[in-house]
């Protein structure tokens, strides 16, 4: 796992290590350990990728495209943004995004 990528995505989203740990059902210091080189299980990697809205391959360093799975799907930029917001924040995030977009 590329701890630097995990840290980068988490910080871009404005999420603390503790908040991400809790959102993933992990111990409070777990994200700190992953960002600093601890091994990770496949199941935990999947949960992290889903919570952050990124491709697990990106977190592993196998791809340089954090959202490769949505880039090649024919979605517009707005559709991608909605999908990523939903994955990260759920329906509340979609409502806030919609409210920001309505003139």
User: Same structural domain for residues 49 and 84?
Assistant: no
User: Same structural domain for residues 7 and 35?
Assistant: yes
Among residues 70, 77, 74, 75, the alpha carbon closest in space to that of 97 is found at: 77
Radius of gyration over every alpha carbon of the chain, rounded to an integer in angstroms: 14
pLDDT of residue 70: 47
Instruction: Inform me whether the pLDDT recorded for 33 exceeds 80.
Output: yes
**CATH number assigned to the domain comprising residue 38:** 1.10.260.40
Domain count, the chain: 2
Q: Tens of pLDDT along 42-84?
A: 999 999 999 998 989 999 998 887 875 544 557 788 888 888 8
The mean pLDDT of the chain is 88
Give the side-chain half-sphere CA count within 13 A for 21: 13
Residue 13's domain comprises 1-64
**Chain center to CA of 75:** 18
pLDDT higher at 87 or 61: 61
Instruction: Inform me whether the pLDDT recorded for 37 exceeds 60.
Output: yes
Q: Tens of pLDDT along 11-20?
A: 998 999 999 9
């Amino acid at each position: 796992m590329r701890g630097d990528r995990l840290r980068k995505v988490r910080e871009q989203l404005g999420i603390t290590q503790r908040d991400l740990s809790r959102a993933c059902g992990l111990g409070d210091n777990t994200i700190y350990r992953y960002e600093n080189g601890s091994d990770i299980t496949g199941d935990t990697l999947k949960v992290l990728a889903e919570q952050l809205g990124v491709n697990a391959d990106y977190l592993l360093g196998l791809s340089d495209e954090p959202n490769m799975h949505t880039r090649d799907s024919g979605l517009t930029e707005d559709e991608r943004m909605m999908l990523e917001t939903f994955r990260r924040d759920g329906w509340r995030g979609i409502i806030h995004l919609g409210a920001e977009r309505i003139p």
